[in-house]
Chains A and B, each alone.
Chain A
């Protein structure tokens, strides 16, 4: 059993410990196990082989060769033409014990300085806002439980972009369509490993059935805690969280926002039934206003 070892994490819901089955909910009745990524950032060396492999395999176009000036990260963020993004964070002047200096050898030094590296990717949410709000049905749930844009259907309305709580999906200027990680739908359908995971030299990016990945991740975080890295934590591994758990989840060494990730993402459509009720109320009020302005005449003049 997973323990709720981080303050402020979503409480585990007993009736949902295994989480929803997104592929079955989408109508894939006889489907393969849900596949996903576990990205263990404690072993990421920031080589960006994942970024390159992704671009190569998926024929994702170049999207700018500028220097950000903020860190060794010149990719900056996920986007329509960046489906893997390696974040690079330099922290100086931290407490060497709290930063796990003794364990993550090479990442931390005696003065408490350390480099954090993390390969970010689409989370393939169990409850995916992009998919919910897509008006054309271009975004769809695959039999593997992943979320994919059908490029021949997308009309570039852009609604998925602000809906995503992670800022993953973007619109490509050159073709006007929305694009993001497909979890290498073409490769995994053929029993292959996604390009990024295949290219990762340290197995920071691990691909497999989500259930197995979650168990493996829990063992890894326990190991790190025992080894003196109290900051290690899992992110988006919990089916009870605001997105129903990620199909891609992470082991982080600091707060999610340090990596540019939202600390407590919630799928926006959870509140949509309430929004519709308020729309209905406002529409009724508008009609009532019309009635009042007509009736006031008869009484007033």
Chain B
């Protein structure tokens, strides 16, 4: 019954190389977590992070596809966005401890709460996105449809990125300390998935536009993820590298790289549409990669909260930094 001194299980580096600085020991209350892990359910919440991203970025893609003369791609993206955001709404209400009170989300507006800002964004974006889709499918009220398309694109850019602040505005170090990169990671992941979905559904003549959007998104996602783990450093990035979230994120990265190659080929290199196999496969890979990324980031946060070391060590380092000055 003595107080344990916890020495971290260190993840073996590639080729068994030893890190330069030994990881500090930390003290804890019998190894129990300092924080409470989020009670958000899976797949509801990581599923929402994915679907909200698909929706928001699809609205952005739709607006530019419409403006540049790719009407089928635009119409498909609007329908995708509306379907994704409707599913998101179901997932979010289902995740509440008291689902019947979901309307309380609109009781106040607080910029200090990303969830409050997000709820209002969703409440406005959902109907606007729906109006754009209905107008595109039925061909009615084209002027109002165009306005809704533009509005959904602007609101959608918020829907796809505010979730970065939603996760980072917590005490979970793997999320909080990543607050600079998280919105960019999510924006990239969203564009990659929306572009990928466009590549899956667009007619061959309009697939290149979706390929370009997907390629930019995939490149941004890979870059942001690198920067994120580099900022966290070997220690705090642990949850992103090890265990189940590590596996999910490695799988996501492999699929993103493959999808990036296919979407560059589709969007930037081929000038004539060829066999749809490359673009369809790449599109599918990117959609799957985006989902895996969101589940990986979500689970990395759960792992971070469950381990007192990820809470205590960075705070001890901060105290050490102040004492040295």
Contacts and interface: CB of A to CB of B under 8 A. Distances in A.
Contacts of B18: none
A294 B165 contact: no
Contacts of A258: 3, 27-29
B14 interface: no
Contacts of B245: none
Interface in B33-77: 33-40, 56-57, 60-61, 63-65, 67-68
Contacts of B154: 287
Interface string B247-290: 00000000000000000000110010000000000000000000
A68 B32 CA distance: 11
Interface in A246-301: 255, 257-265, 268-269, 271-272, 274-276, 278-279, 281-287, 289-298, 300-301
B7 interface: no
A300 B2 contact: no
Contact of A70 (B1, B37, B65): B1
Given A137-B107, A292-B212, A261 B68 contact: no
A284 B119 CA distance: 20
A208 interface: no
B242 interface: no
Interface of B: prevailing SS: helix
B316 interface: yes
Interface stretch (B78-86, B110-118, B131-139, B140-148): B110-118
B130 interface: no
A87 B3 CA distance: 12
Interface in B145-173: 153-154, 157-158, 160-162, 164-165, 168-172
Interface of B: 1-3, 26-30, 32-40, 56-57, 60-61, 63-65, 67-68, 95-99, 101-102, 104-105, 107-108, 110-116, 119, 153-154, 157-158, 160-162, 164-165, 168-172, 176, 179-184, 186-187, 190-191, 195, 208-209, 212-213, 216-217, 220, 267-268, 271, 301, 305, 308, 311-312, 315-316, 318-320, 322-323
Interface of A: 7-11, 68, 70-71, 76-77, 79, 87, 89-93, 129, 132-138, 153-159, 161-171, 175-178, 255, 257-265, 268-269, 271-272, 274-276, 278-279, 281-287, 289-298, 300-301
